[in-house]
């Protein structure tokens, strides 16, 4: 069973310390939502988990330092859906999703039957089978987001880090993607998703990690973590959290008023 551990991870970008001294452990079979305000350091933390930015401290997958692993080897172990990726090449959706199999291929080798099956599975799960022959650069924002999600699924890695996978998606496809992330975790994968929709995060995640100014300010189940006080302190908003239903729901009223 895959594990991911962060040991005092810090990241400086330019002169700014964007991630500060973060330690946490993530287990197989769990869906963790990483939430927090714009600029808090969520994406940078996700990138540090994939050794995509120089970091202090250590990130380990199954005990192996991610910074020391060969790139393809790490890519087979952690699939990554980056935030707001732009597409440059006019590939078909099927070819683009197929890029998710690259970490599995030897140099100059061709896609094998097993890879083709993984690509079909990923396209079906991300609901892009109908788009397979479309040119990816000509898709709508939501279609493109689902295609890129399919590419990450096609890796079939034991861990998945998705950075704002709901961006650009309509409400139905948001639910589809959250159900997929949940299903990935339920089949034993380690899943981490950077999310902004707190009710979606509360509904589907086992655990929420709240990041503010580069540090963890809360870590626990959605019911434990989401409180009006926390939302006021972290987001500067007044909100009500209903906890009577199957999952907590967050209603935002407006910007928090400063105390008299």
Ligand X SMILES: Nc1ncnc2c1ncn2[C@@H]1O[C@H](COP(=O)(O)OP(=O)(O)OP(=O)(O)O)[C@@H](O)[C@H]1O
CB of 39 to ligand X, least distance (A): 4
Q: How far is the CB of 143 from ligand X (least distance, A)?
A: 22
Report if residue 165 touches ligand X, rule: CB under 6 A. Answer: no
Nearer to ligand X, 13 or 117 (CB): 13
What's the half-sphere exposure (Cβ side, CA atoms, 13 Å) at 143?
16
Measure the CA–CA gap between 3 and 157, rounded to whole angstroms. Answer: 13
Residues 42-61 that bind ligand X (CB under 6 A): 42-44
Provide the token pair at 46. Answer: 């996700």
Closer residue to ligand X (CB): 1 or 13: 13
Stretch that binds ligand X, among 41-49, 67-75, 121-129, 152-160 (CB under 6 A): 41-49
Least distance CB 40 / ligand X (angstroms) = 4
- The rounded Cα 10 to chain-centroid distance in angstroms is 19
The smaller minimum CB distance to ligand X, of residues 95 and 213, is found at 213
Among 135, 46, 137, 152, residue whose Cα is nearest residue 99: 152
Which residue stretch of 14-22, 57-65, 90-98, 105-113 sits at the interface with ligand X (rule: CB under 6 A)?
A: 14-22
Structure-block tokens of residue 92: 């078909």
Q: If binding is defined by CB under 6 A, does position 41 make contact with ligand X?
A: yes
Instruction: Please check whether residue 230 is in contact with residue 209, taking contact to mean a CB–CB distance below 8 angstroms.
Output: no
Contact range with ligand X by CB under 6 A, out of 40-48, 94-102, 124-132, 153-161: 40-48
As a whole number of angstroms, the distance between CA 58 and CA 37 comes to 25
Q: Rounded distance, CA 234 to CA 259, Å?
A: 16
Tell me if 116 contacts ligand X by CB under 6 A: no
Task: Choose one: 21-29, 35-43, 71-79, 113-121; the region binding ligand X (CB under 6 A).
Answer: 35-43
User: Min. distance of Cβ 44 from ligand X in angstroms?
Assistant: 3
The enclosing H or E element of 16 equals: strand 16-27
First to last CA, the chain: 52
Count the site residues for ligand X by CB under 6 A: 12
Q: How far apart are CA 74 and CA 94, in angstroms?
A: 23
Q: Which positions lie near ligand X, rule CB under 6 A? A: 13-14, 16, 18, 36, 38-44
């Amino acid at each position: 069973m895959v594990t991911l551990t962060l040991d005092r991870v810090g990241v400086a970008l330019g002169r700014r310390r964007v991630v500060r001294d973060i330690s946490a452990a993530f287990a197989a079979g769990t869906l963790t939502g990483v939430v927090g305000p714009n600029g808090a350091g969520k994406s940078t933390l996700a990138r540090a988990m994939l050794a995509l930015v120089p970091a202090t401290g250590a990130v380990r997958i199954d005990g192996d330092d991610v910074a020391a692993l060969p790139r393809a080897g790490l890519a087979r172990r952690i699939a990554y859906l980056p935030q707001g990726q732009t597409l440059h090449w006019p590939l078909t959706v099927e070819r683009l999703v197929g890029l998710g199999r690259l970490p599995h291929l030897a140099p100059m080798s061709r896609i094998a039957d097993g890879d083709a099956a993984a690509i079909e599975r990923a396209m079906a799960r991300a609901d892009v089978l109908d788009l397979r022959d479309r040119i990816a650069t000509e898709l709508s924002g939501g279609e493109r987001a689902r295609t890129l999600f399919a590419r990450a699924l096609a890796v079939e890695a034991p861990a998945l880090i998705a950075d704002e996978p709901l961006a650009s998606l309509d409400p139905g496809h948001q639910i589809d993607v959250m159900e997929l992330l949940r299903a990935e975790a339920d089949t034993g994968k380690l899943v981490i998703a950077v999310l902004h929709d707190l009710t979606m995060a509360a509904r589907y995640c086992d655990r929420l990690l709240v990041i503010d100014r580069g540090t963890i300010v809360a870590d626990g189940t959605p019911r434990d973590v989401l409180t009006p006080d926390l939302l006021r302190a972290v987001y500067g908003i007044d909100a009500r959290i209903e906890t009577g239903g199957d999952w907590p729901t967050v209603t935002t009223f407006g910007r928090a008023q400063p105390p008299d």
